[in-house]
Amino acid sequence: MSVRWSESLDTLDWEELSALYLAAPLGNKSPDWLKTVFSNSMFRCFAYDGGRLVGVGRALADGADCSYICDVAVLPSHQGTGLGREIINRLVAASRGHRKILLYAVPGKEPFYRKFGFLRMKTAMAIFENPQQQLERGYLSED
């Protein structure tokens, strides 16, 4: 596997990115929605194999205090190859200098992120558009 890395949105195929999230599977994210969130993210990481988008991640950051890594996804055909690890490494490196780097993870994936130095926060809280769905998926706790 020969991976080409990019941070650019200039040639990104938004339909292909949407299909990657659906396949990963990280949900149905429309091309227009993805264009908004990626355009507003300070750091982006795209992995291409043979011209095909196979991995992605982004970080919202303010340049000094907080960088928030999210939406890390790898095509199932490329999972287990170290691609996800490299995406996280690149986003963490880009986020260095911020006082804190936060990460939003799929429930059950926490051990993977601990390898990078991430620890569970005891005070993190969230308001979701559909809280009941997120409770059922294990993203939220009412305690």
Label residue 37 left, alpha or beta by phi (over 0 means left) and psi (-120 to 50 means alpha): alpha
Cβ burial of 35 (10 Å; 0-12, 13-18, 19+) is middle
Confidence check: pLDDT of 1 > 80: no
What percent of the chain has pLDDT above 70?
100
Fold category of 3-104 in CATH? Aminopeptidase (3.40.630)
DSSP SS3 for 97: coil
**Nearest-angstrom CA–CA distance, 6 and 12:** 10
What percent of the chain has pLDDT above 90?
78
DSSP state of 121: -
Residue type, 55: G
**Nearest-angstrom CA–CA distance, 16 and 29:** 11
Confidence check: pLDDT of 123 > 90: no
End-to-end CA distance of the chain: 45
Domain coordinates of the chain in residue numbers? 3-104
DSSP of 114-137: HTTT----SS-----SSHHHHHHH
What digits encode the pLDDT tens for the residues 14-54? 999 999 999 998 889 999 999 999 999 999 999 999 999 99
Confidence category of residue 125, pLDDT binned at 50, 70, 90: confident
- pTM, rounded to two decimals: 0.91
